[in-house]
Structure formats: C-alpha cells, structure tokens
Amino acid sequence: MKENDNLQEKVAIITGGGSGIGYGCASYLKEAGAKVAIFDVDKASGERARRQLGLDAFLAGDVSSSADCKRAIQELSRQFGHIDILINSAGVIRRRSVVDLTEEQWDLVIDVSLKGTFLMSKYAIPIMERQGGSIINIGSGWGLKGGPKAAAYCAAKGGVVNLTRAMAIDHGPQNIRVNCICPGDVDTPLLRSEALQLGEDEVSFMSEAADRPLARVGTPADIAKAVFFLASDLSSWVTGAVIVVDGGGLA
C-alpha cells in the first residue's frame, strides 16, 4: 500500500458501527491505519465492537437526536483534534407498504437513515472545514429503484442519495468530498431481520437474495472496500458520486 493510499493519522467516525456494514467498515479502516470511533444506539454491541476490533472510541447515542449527534462530534473532536472521515451507516428497515406502515414506523426509518445522516453531517462539517474531509453515506439499491413492502426505507435511502449530491455541491469549496455507496443485499442482522418481518423462511429468503449475476449476497467487507476507496486519497477527485456495490443486482 502506498503512503497516500492508507489512512494513517486519519480519524474516522462511523455511525451504526456496532454491527453489520458499520462494523465491517470499522474493522477495515482500523486495519488501514485510521483512528476509528463508532457511534451506536446499542451500548452492548458498540462496546463489543470496540473490544473486538481494538477501536479508539465508542460513544452511545441516537443519530436521530440533535443533542446526541452534537455531543458525539464535540467529544470526538476534542479527543482526536480533528475529524477526517464520517461514515453515515446507521439504518433500520420496516417491511411495510404505505398502507400498512404506522406513522411511528415511518418516522423511525426516516429519522435514523435520513435525519441521522443530516445531523451527523451538520455537526461534523464545521470541524472538517479546517482541513477538508470525506463523508460517505450508506444508501441502498432501493434508493435508486423501488422495492416491495419497503416504502419508508426506499424513501429514506432515496433521500440519502440526493442529499449526498446536494452536500457535495455545497461543501466542495471546503475540500469536503461527499459520496454515497448503494449496497445490494448484504449478509447482516438487518437483512436477516427482513425474513422475520415478512414471515418468510430465512434460508429461502437469503437464497433468493443471492439471485444476482455474481450469485451471492454481499459481505460487510465488500462494502468496506468501497468505503476505503472513498475515504482515501485514491478518490481525491470524486465527489457527488453514487457507487452501486451489489453483485450486479441492479444490472
């Protein structure tokens, strides 16, 4: 790895880092030399991830809370002195149509995925402006096309995709790059929970999820590799981009 390809001395904050894609990103970026802090509402999984991966910090909090997001950014900025990378990975899904969704379920999905991305970026960008930085939002293939019984999730992830573009325009002059990765089905607790929500057999559900040109579901490491590209100087002229990492599913 060339010197400018690694993340030595970079500080990365990852929301939803206690499990799934966020956990995979934390592991990969730590190995690449970054100082990694995770922010997760689940204290048990966050502490476990910190211990297992040897991370530099874990803060418990809710990404849909302005006060929690502001506190997290302030505390981590004081601890590390700067923030170079923000990965907005926290998300939830409720497999319902608009008719079947409750208002509370709609609010939960929108607040965690979309509002959480807004709030963490709102407080991180003024810190990043000092030296530039990279914000990587985790969207979804269903942010680019529709999906069945996932109205709130599709709306939230579609919002994340276009919020990414707007932020890239606004903050490019401060050398802050903002990009979005749209994964396909990745083997995470979130994906497996969908089988339960839909009342389907988990084995059959996961088998159907693998029905794509590369004939498998993704792994958190598959997404983390794309995150590393966008976090590093390898992507120094990439901003406002939406990168699909889905084994060919959208194709």
**From 23, 28, 123, 153, active-site residue:** 153
Structure confidence by residue, pLDDT tens digits, 150-160 = 999 999 999 99
Two tokens, residue 174: 């401060």
Average of per-residue pLDDT across 108-120:
98
190 in Cβ contact with 112 (< 8 Å): no
Burial-class residue 52 by CB neighbours within 10 Å (0-12, 13-18, 19+): exposed
User: Which domains are delineated in the chain?
Assistant: 7-184+220-241 (3.40.50.720)
Average of per-residue pLDDT across 71-89:
98
The widest CA-to-CA distance across the chain, in whole angstroms, is 53
What residues form DSSP beta bridges with 182? 244
What pLDDT band is residue 3 in, cutting at 50, 70 and 90? Answer: very low
Of 243, 16, 28, 12, nearest in space to 139 by CA: 243
The answer to whether residue 123 is catalytic is no
The number of beta carbons lying within 10 Å of the beta carbon of residue 241 is 15
What pLDDT band is residue 6 in, cutting at 50, 70 and 90? Answer: confident
| Percent of the chain clearing pLDDT 70 (strictly above) | 98
pTM assigned to the model: 0.96
